Amino acid sequence: MSKSATLPLIFDLISRATSIAVVSEFLKARGLTSSAGSWADMFTQRIEPALASSQLSMKDLIDLLRSVEEYGRQHIFVFRAPDKGAAEALIDKVRIGQILKTLDLMDLLAEPRQFDMPAKPAFVDIRWAGNPVGSELIIKEVLTRETLEFRGITKNGTTIQRNYETIKERVVNVIRLTSKGDLEIRLASRRGSSRYSDDLKDIAVRLQPFLTLHDFKIVSFAKAKAKLWSDRSALAQKIRFSDLTVSNDEDVSLKAFGKVLTTNVAGSAAAVGSVDSFLASDGYCDSSNIWFLKGSPVPARDIHVVLSGEENEIAVPANCSEVDYEYVLSELKALNV
């Protein structure tokens, strides 16, 4: 695809994944004129002239697209390779090159493919990252997801018909495997509440040329859930609890939650007493709905995180920056030791 044909698509994907303010900050950081009253102005008055004058490159825009659509609005499943040597072998550049040649995807090493809504799941970006560069393998997949949205009821005599509209959306999944053996599978969030076991099984099949998920161990975040609550006083400047569910082996659960989103249940003596009493009787933290509070310099804003579902699952419901995502993940891993 030519540069002239690719540019509008890349910009359209950026505009759907983020806000004008984020793109303005991106331009401002490069010393470029950044204000725009609309997406159309941003494209014709800021992006196109900057490209024409070589103040921006297509690579800059591709990097921006990566940063705004690869972090957040995801359910992240964390795994661990059996040993470091196995992970290093899996991301070996010669091995990956041979796989891509077999799959007719060698061009991805030079430049990602751009798809809006492909007819079937497609790998669109394969790259090495990390510090040093080459210590992480990133695989990006795009697919089209169809969902049904209720549009109302039609009555015709004694017949009642429920009407739904088919909604198509572009879905981005990201896989990261490090030379240390850490594997993240970031699945794009679905609308409404949903479990992701089928999505995980499906992507595991598609990843088989690169890795076999059954060879990896699940990383349970049970310790992190427990420490978030037990160390709540020490973490008070970092963490706010929207709600917390504790359970026991008798299939009994207790939930503490605030009626408004800004409530911190860890600040309620009654809630704390009830939860601690339950935990003292062989209870455990089942799920946590928390916020990592805005810090200096990170995170740049409050980041919503949900620890529920599968034991190795983390949900980040809203888009966030790469820096804030890495901060949240590192904090959870530190608590999980």
195 lies in the same domain as 227: no
* Domain's final residue, options 69, 89, 119: 69
Among 37, 69, 101, the domain boundary falls at 69
Mark whether 7 and 64 lie in a shared domain: yes
Q: Taking the model in full, what pTM does it have?
A: 0.93
Q: Within 13 Å, how many C-alpha atoms sit on residue 37's CB side?
A: 0
**Do 184 and 260 fall within a single domain?**
no
Number of domains making up the chain: 3
200 and 159 in a single domain? The answer is yes
The radius of gyration of the chain's CA atoms, rounded to the nearest angstrom, is 22
Do 147 and 191 belong together in one domain?
Answer: yes
The predicted pLDDT at position 186 comes to 98
The verdict on 204 and 116 lying in the same domain is yes
Domain match, 32 and 122 both = no
Strands (E), the chain: 72-80, 122-129, 136-156, 159-178, 182-188, 217-218, 239-247, 253-257, 284-292, 303-307, 313-319
For 52-158, strand residue ranges (E) read 72-80, 122-129, 136-156
Which residue numbers in the chain have pLDDT < 50?
1
On whether both 214 and 237 belong to a single domain, the answer is no
Helix (H) or strand (E) holding 276: helix 269-280
Q: Same domain, yes or no, for 123 and 176?
A: yes
Q: What is the pLDDT of residues 123-169, one digit of tens each?
A: 999 999 999 999 999 999 999 999 899 999 999 999 999 999 999 99
Q: Which of 18, 37, 69 is the last residue of a domain?
A: 69
- pLDDT tens for 261-280 read 889 999 999 999 999 999 99
Residue 232 sits in the same domain as residue 286: yes
For residues 40 and 59, the answer to whether their CB atoms sit within 8 Å is no
What pLDDT does residue 4 have?
54
Judge if 195 and 236 occupy the same domain: no
178 and 262: one domain?
no
Encode pLDDT of 21-53 as tens digits: 999 999 999 999 999 999 999 999 999 999 999
Domain range enclosing 253:
222-335
